[in-house]
Structure 1
Amino acid sequence: MTKTLLTRSSCALSLCLTVVSAAVPAIAQATDLPIASPESVGVDSRPLVQLSETIRNENLDVRSFLVVKDGQLIYERYAKGLTRDHNYELYSITKNVTALAAGALIDEGKSRLDEKVAPILAKARPDLKDALADKQAIELRHVMSMSTGLVYNFKPTDDPIYYGAPDRLKLAAETTPTVAPGTAFDYTDVNPILASATLGADAGMPLPDYVRSHFFEPMGMTHYGWERADDKGLVSSGWGLRLRAVDMAKLGMLVLHGGRWDGRQLVSQAWVRTMTAPSSAPWYGMYWWINDIVATEPETHAMGFKGQFIVSLPERNAVVVMTSMLPIEGGLRESQNVLAIRRMVKDFVLPALDNKAHAVPSAARSKALAQELQLAAQHQGKPAAPADPTDTPRL
């Protein structure tokens, strides 16, 4: 078993990252979430059993599905022989962690939402000064709310912005502004490249180093990694982060509790409110989505390509996590994997949380849940999204 550590290299100012590995013992972590049975916290386990059965019957490639209630892990489903210690490529959930880091830097006075990103990047990369000349009006708030007005001509496969990039920041700097910053929402992965470089410069260290010391270590996270750096060492803030499902749940809890973790305020409550309030679109804040999974009550979530989700339900003090390889067809907010998590939460998770009057502990219910989770552990599921090597879960 290996733990992926993030260390700084000596290249290109503060825009660098080197990934190394070191052996760690294969033991359960004492800092993981406490475990409880669903019924012990007033949750009916029967809909959760039905959820797992549905995943198996429909042969869905759901690798992990977790439910946390009142700070306790009450449902922990893994498939394909995976365990709690496996981590997953989270794709755009990397943006959500970046948003938390931005808030912490703003709290420290090292970043500002109204700071202009072009001068910061030109100082770090003088060779890009000319390319950044037409981007002087772009502020950090535009980068994080997907409203920079920049357009990048994405190629359908093997785009250098994602794979084998020699200089990802150069690609982002050379994009063309089409509308004034702050005037239109446009979800493009140019923006998190600018975010990674800007926030790393503000922090005075590579962004993954800052995130590790400010969030991952205080929150007891393990088996994490931030990969796919370009040839200059810059990671994107839009993909490449690998976390265990249980650590994804911790991030959901951090947001649920207004930035507080184990008695320590890791990021201000004011920033969590800003981050999860509408900005450039009614359903989008600062890299966090709003009421797009559950529309009937307050909800905020992180969403990653191919079906990675962290859903926070503040009125219920609950968090739902899923990692999967589900279909990507249907567009950004209506892809098949988004429809799947909406259905799972609406048809199974919410009824389990709602049915407190019938959440009666019994040996029969405990046995039914345990037996179903054993069946789930061996279920393979049929991958329904194109697989990259990074999609393989790792220890």
Structure 2
Amino acid sequence: MKQLSDRLDEVLQTGQAGGLHGIVAVRGGHTVWEYYGAGEDFAWGDSRGVVEFGPETLHDIRSVTKTVTALLYGIALGEGLVPPPGEPLVSRFSQYPDLAADPQRARLTVEHALTMSLGLEWCEDAPYNSPANAEIAMELAPDRYRYILERPVLAPPGVGWTYCGGATALLGRLIADGTGLSLPQYGQAVLFTPLAIDRFEWMTGADGVASAASGLRLTPHDLARLGELVLAKGARDGQQIVPANWIHTMLQPRLQTSWGGRYGYQWYLESVGGRQLVAGMGNGGQRLYVLPDLDLTVAITAGNYDDPDQWRAPLTVLEQVILPTVV
């Protein structure tokens, strides 16, 4: 749509939306706009060189992977393969009887992982190429799950939100244990194939385990399909892919984030322009925006990794380019 392209050109000239790689906006099941740029691409920290992005180009979605893991957890829960949110967490990791015997850790439930409220020491403020970042330290640890669960207890669980990729890693292990499949295998079988997503990558750590927190690579179009699935309460073409009750439960606001938004089960819940917004967000400006009352999904990929202002480009596109045109 020329009007959207003109608006984007104006925003790009102001410098508020640098580093954009791809935008796909879908409303009512129809793609209303897409944009592709050029720039250096990375798979985690490894440069892929300068890329001319297009509809078929896979892109890191970084921590939007967490929202995908939440969808997979809901599917597995509907199949009776993983514990419900209220169930104890640490006892599910029977290889660590010493941790399960700790009364403070015994209070942890699956919901505390879903809401990132474990109350354990965890900090991801350092760049994601530094072992000072807890997620990177987890990837470097000889046993990622022990590393997470033995972090010092700082607060009672369920009280406060602390951004924690380790919480999502625990969910990924519960899914793998319950289904007997790796995350990529299970994701392909129950989510990607039903959505006609036939190309994806799911990166693994040195231990060969797919990263539930940040390892997924998708095209912007396929990322947008996940948002459309949420808008449709988990259904597509008459098939219930994710249980509708899980979509509802997953998107209930439960805790406040450090910047004032709300958090559900691995999804952010905010408002923009007075309208409800649910979102998956990833380092560098990766975004999956879902606006239910507009029947609108916006998928954005960008390359502003570890930039303190990485939030600016996707939010500017949403607020100044897309919403003024579709509302």
Of 227, 230, 238, 1:252 maps to 227
CA separation of 1:199 and 1:94: change in aligned 2, threshold 3 A: same
- Number of the residue aligned with 1:349: 322
Secondary structure of the residue aligned to 1:161 is helix
Question: Which AA in structure 2 matches 1:71?
Answer: G
| 1:102 alignment counterpart | 73
Q: Residues 165-244 of structure 1 correspond to what in structure 2 (within 5 A)? A: 165-231=141-207, 233-244=208-219
The one-letter amino acid paired with 1:249 is A
Residue of 280, 285, 288 corresponding to 1:302 = 280
Match of 2:87 in 1: 115
- Structure 1 gap segments, 5+ residues each: 1-37, 39-44, 331-335, 355-395
CA distance in 1, matches of 2:289, 2:109: 28
Q: Match of 2:76, as an amino acid? A: L
How far has the Cα of 1:167 moved from its partner?
2.6
Question: Quick check: 268-277 or 197-206, which moved more?
Answer: 197-206
Q: Residue in 2 aligned with 1:284?
A: 263
Q: CA shift at 1:48, angstroms?
A: 3.7
Q: Distance in 2 between matches of 1:88 and 1:283?
A: 27
Could you tell me which amino acid in structure 1 is paired with residue 290 of structure 2? S
What SS does structure 2 have at the residue aligned with 1:252?
Answer: helix
Partner deviation per Cα, 1:41-60 (whole Å, 9 max, x = no partner): xxxx4144221443266371
CA distance in 2, matches of 1:108, 1:263: 18
Which AA in structure 2 matches 1:171? Y
Work out the CA distance in 2 between the residues paired with 1:222 and 1:165: 32
**8 Å CA contact retained: 1:64, 1:78:** yes
Distance 1:295 1:169 in 2: 40
Q: Which runs of 4+ in 1 moved over 6 A?
A: none
Q: CA deviation at 1:246?
A: 0.6
Q: Considering Cα pairs closer than 8 Å and 6+ residues apart, tell me whether 1 or 2 has the greater RCO.
A: 1
TM-fit CA distance, 1:341: 2.2
Q: Secondary structure of 1:50's match?
A: helix
**Is 1:70 aligned to residue 60 of structure 2?**
no
Secondary structure of 2:93 counterpart: helix
User: Is contact 1:150–1:176 with CA below 8 Å preserved after alignment?
Assistant: yes
Matches of 1:296 and 1:328, distance apart in 2: 29
RMSD: 2.1
1:166–1:230 Cα contact (<8 Å) kept: no
> What does residue range 261-280 of structure 1 map to in structure 2 within 5 Å?
261-280=236-255
- Equivalent residue of 2:98, what SS? coil
Query: Deviations along 1:161-216, whole A, 9 cap, x unmatched?
Result: 36545432221122122212111111122211211112221222222221110001
Matched, 1:129 2:100: no
Q: TM-score when scaled to structure 1? A: 0.71
Could you tell me the TM-score, scaled by structure 2's length? 0.85
> What letter matches 1:201 in structure 2?
D
CA contact under 8 A between 1:146 and 1:280: conserved in structure 2?
A: no
Identity among equivalent pairs (%): 27
- What CA deviation, in whole Å up to 9, does each residue of 1:83-107 have, x standing for no partner? 1111111111110001101111221
- Write the distance in 1 (CA, Å) between the matches of 2:289 and 2:77: 24
Q: Is the 8 A contact 1:301 1:309 kept in 2?
A: yes
Q: Give 1:338 deviation, angstroms.
A: 2.1
